[in-house]
Structure 1
Amino acid sequence: MILVTGGAGFIGANFVLDWLSANDEPVLNVDKLTYAGNLATLKSLEGSEKHIFARVDICDRAAIDKLLAAHTPRAVVHFAAESHVDRSIDGPAAFVHTNVVGTFTLLEAVRAYWGKLPEAEKSAFRMLAVSTDEVFGSLGPQDPQFSETTPYAPNSPYSATKAASDHLVRAYHHTYGLPTLTTNCSNNYGPYHFPEKLIPLMITNALAGKSLPIYGDGQNVRDWLYVTDHCSAIRQVLERGTPGETYNVGGWNEKTNLEVVQTLCDLLDELKPKAEGSYREQITFIKDRPGHDRRYAIDAHKLERELGWRPVETFETGLKKTVQWYLDNQSWVNDVTSGEYRKWVGQHYA
């Protein structure tokens, strides 16, 4: 069995679904179910003996200790995190609590559990922490891509707390010998993405006839990674990665935010055409957010060189799958975009 934290969130839930579709090893899914955690994403696993869900906060040491003792996982994959930059600007305390205190609490629990394992199980055990390219800061147009040796320079409360989490994971390997692995990924997209992030927000707004708000001049660049490609990379690192190492996971798809939204509009024009005109007509530009990093770009050569991983999806194929999924799953989208979420979007993207 493996233990997955944050397995009801976007990337975590996709990983759980991907994992259980590929093998018979059970998953203990630990999630606090904050606003971005959605058990409806895991509806297909209802009744499955391979999926055990526990509604637990990773900051609850006693509860984590009990789960580790009861289920004896051979590995921990740590997704649980507050992840939206805009929310971190408005309310950084929650990010410090979950991303820093939560990771520390989890590490302490895992270290105690790992230290008591029989030698063979102790040697085989792994803890993989999933992180972000945002810890590296911002790149200029001609700067080389982020590598595993790029110095950390986080620019938002979100990225600063993820950097702190990464440093704790590294320290627990070097100080205590805990067999940790860290992955730093680029921007994920795909099915089950909470509609506050760029791609699902644009799809949802476009279909509702609302404006498509783009920060600043729309020229901020991100590298885009289809979520199932990310899941396959995590499986590879968990299985074959060297303890103490970090691995960058990228999609080799640098796109400006404006390019992303324009491509989305063109796909919607093809797959769900309006009665008149193009979805591009709904694009608007709004005031840039504070400290908005200009460019992220991932160099994923180490992962390819050492573990043989490359993404399967191009940006075009992945984005088309994503748009089609949202068109086919409007009930999931409507369930998510209700209540407090709608108020929050109105406040920030009016």
Structure 2
Amino acid sequence: MPTWLVTGGAGFIGGNFVLGAVARGVRVVNLDALTYAGNLDTLASLRDDPRHVFVHGDIGDRGLVSRLLAEHRPDAVVNFAAETHVDRSIDGPAAFVQTNVVGTLALLEAVREYWASPAADAGGPFRFLHVSTDEVYGALGERGRFTEASPYAPNSPYAASKAASDHLVRAFHHTYGLPVLTTNCSNNYGPFQFPEKLIPLVIAKALAGEPLPVYGDGRQVRDWLFVADHCAAIHAVLAGGRVGETYNVGGDAERRNLEVVEAICALLDTRRPRADGQPHAALIRFVADRPGHDRRYAIDAGKLRDELGWRPEYGFERGLAETVDWYLSHQDWVRRVLDGSYRLERIGVAA
């Protein structure tokens, strides 16, 4: 049974990845700082599963990370740990630099030390996979897509901090030979996403009958990637990716933000009609645009497809419908996030 150290595995993408990895037969040591975005409710099904070892801690704690590496001797480290919300990075960029840059550096140092030891070779080739974002590339015009050769041009504190972490990962490979892989993904959506992001936010507000805020004119374009497809791509890169390479992961599903909101409203109209008989789209309100809001992102995932045979299985319509249905059937999970009670019950967490 392979063992992987997964950082940030109580978050949205990390949590989905951990659930899938354990189901595939991987033993996961899950290190998460349990900031506001870390939610042990997401991992409730693994509570008594010996293949899942949860550790409450920070990637910036080199002593803790070194101890976990020495004790569990993982075959791979998969780094999801990051502050990710653009609006929060605008309000407080220091936390993003601390976690995404300083924390990643500390993690890399601990991993490099472990990789140089005999323990790292005991179970086969070791890999460090760093999960990043398409936002490091900046904004696109009306045409074209980001490739792995696109220049970095981050436009938000969040994107700048992720770009810095990507550069550190690359440098540790070229300077020290650390066997790294990097993935840069487009906008993820799906189950267990924290309701500050667009899709779960709109679902929650629509069900509550509250205004649905849309930045600017709502014509910003994003490439939407269902989280299960992203997790499958990471598995593919871990299994067959070339060391030192970057792989872009996209859903081939460009949509304007307003289109996404309207599609959610249409799904809710059939599944949870409003009591007053009005369509949910009547709740849409345009609000002042986010500072420095990038107009368009789109990913060319051709390298991942051609080299490793990965393709997204979920079209946007199917993925969005399954996402809406998941939130409708998991309102207790949403309620505990919205009222904060998910942060109050962290009994039995290892230190």
TM over 0.5: yes
Asked if 1 retains the 8 angstrom alpha-carbon contact of 2:218 and 2:286, the reply is yes
Partner in structure 1 of residue 307 of structure 2: 306
1:124 aligns with 2:136: no
Asked if 1 retains the 8 angstrom alpha-carbon contact of 2:120 and 2:126, the reply is no
Partner in structure 2 of residue 10 of structure 1: 12
Partner in structure 2 of residue 344 of structure 1: none
CA distance in structure 2 between the partners assigned to 1:189 and 1:119 by the alignment: 34
Alignment of 1:74-153 (within 5 A): 74-117=75-118, 120-121=121-122, 124-142=125-143, 144-153=144-153
Q: Report the residue type matching 1:11 in the other structure.
A: I
Partner in structure 2 of residue 159 of structure 1: 159
CA distance in structure 2 between the partners assigned to 1:175 and 1:95 by the alignment: 25
Asked if 2 retains the 8 angstrom alpha-carbon contact of 1:69 and 1:113, the reply is yes
Alignment of 1:1-350 (within 5 A): 1-22=3-24, 24-117=25-118, 120-121=121-122, 124-142=125-143, 144-275=144-275, 276-339=277-340
Task: Name whichever of 272-281 and 4-13 sits farther off.
Answer: 272-281
Match of 1:59, SS state, is coil
Match of 2:118, SS state, is coil
Q: Report the residue type matching 1:124 in the other structure.
A: P
CA distance in structure 2 between the partners assigned to 1:267 and 1:253 by the alignment: 18
Asked if 1 retains the 8 angstrom alpha-carbon contact of 2:155 and 2:292, the reply is yes
In the superposition, relative to structure 1, how do residues 265 and 122 fare at CA in structure 2: closer, same or farther (>3 Å)? same
Q: Report the residue type matching 1:62 in the other structure.
A: G
Asked if 2 retains the 8 angstrom alpha-carbon contact of 1:114 and 1:122, the reply is no
**% identical equivalent positions:** 63
What's the offset of the Cα at 1:25?
A: 2.0
Q: Report the residue type matching 1:215 in the other structure.
A: Y
What's the offset of the Cα at 1:204?
A: 0.3
CA distance in structure 2 between the partners assigned to 1:159 and 1:139 by the alignment: 14
CA distance in structure 2 between the partners assigned to 1:30 and 1:108 by the alignment: 16
Asked if 1 retains the 8 angstrom alpha-carbon contact of 2:224 and 2:250, the reply is yes
Q: Report the residue type matching 2:8 in the other structure.
A: G
- Structure 2: which 5+ runs fail to align? 343-351
CA distance in structure 1 between the partners assigned to 2:323 and 2:287 by the alignment: 25
Asked if 1 retains the 8 angstrom alpha-carbon contact of 2:15 and 2:43, the reply is yes
Q: Report the residue type matching 2:242 in the other structure.
A: T
What's the offset of the Cα at 1:273?
A: 1.4
CA distance in structure 1 between the partners assigned to 2:257 and 2:50 by the alignment: 42
What's the offset of the Cα at 1:122?
A: 8.4
What's the offset of the Cα at 1:121?
A: 4.0
CA distance in structure 1 between the partners assigned to 2:338 and 2:148 by the alignment: 37
Q: Report the residue type matching 1:296 in the other structure.
A: Y
Asked if 1 retains the 8 angstrom alpha-carbon contact of 2:74 and 2:120, the reply is no
CA distance in structure 1 between the partners assigned to 2:203 and 2:135 by the alignment: 24
CA distance in structure 2 between the partners assigned to 1:340 and 1:294 by the alignment: 36
Asked if 1 retains the 8 angstrom alpha-carbon contact of 2:222 and 2:254, the reply is yes
Match of 2:305, SS state, is helix
CA distance in structure 2 between the partners assigned to 1:79 and 1:136 by the alignment: 19
Normalized against structure 1, the TM-score is what? 0.95
What's the offset of the Cα at 1:258?
A: 0.2
In the alignment of these two chains, the number of paired residues is 339
Listed one character per residue, the Cα deviations across residues 149-188 of structure 1 (whole Å, up to 9, x for unaligned) are: 0000000000000000000000000000000000000000
In the superposition, relative to structure 1, how do residues 282 and 340 fare at CA in structure 2: closer, same or farther (>3 Å)? farther
Say what the alpha-carbon RMSD is for the aligned residues.
Answer: 1.3
Asked if 2 retains the 8 angstrom alpha-carbon contact of 1:132 and 1:162, the reply is yes
Listed one character per residue, the Cα deviations across residues 247-294 of structure 1 (whole Å, up to 9, x for unaligned) are: 000000000000000000001111111231110000000000100000
- Structure 1: which 5+ runs fail to align? 342-350
What's the offset of the Cα at 1:134?
A: 0.1
What's the offset of the Cα at 1:20?
A: 1.2
Q: Report the residue type matching 1:63 in the other structure.
A: L
CA distance in structure 2 between the partners assigned to 1:81 and 1:340 by the alignment: 22
Asked if 1 retains the 8 angstrom alpha-carbon contact of 2:225 and 2:253, the reply is yes
Q: Report the residue type matching 2:317 in the other structure.
A: E
Normalized against structure 2, the TM-score is what? 0.95
Match of 1:48, SS state, is coil
Listed one character per residue, the Cα deviations across residues 64-111 of structure 1 (whole Å, up to 9, x for unaligned) are: 111111111010000000000000000000000000001000000000
CA distance in structure 1 between the partners assigned to 2:167 and 2:202 by the alignment: 34
What's the offset of the Cα at 1:117?
A: 2.4
Partner in structure 1 of residue 346 of structure 2: none
Partner in structure 2 of residue 346 of structure 1: none
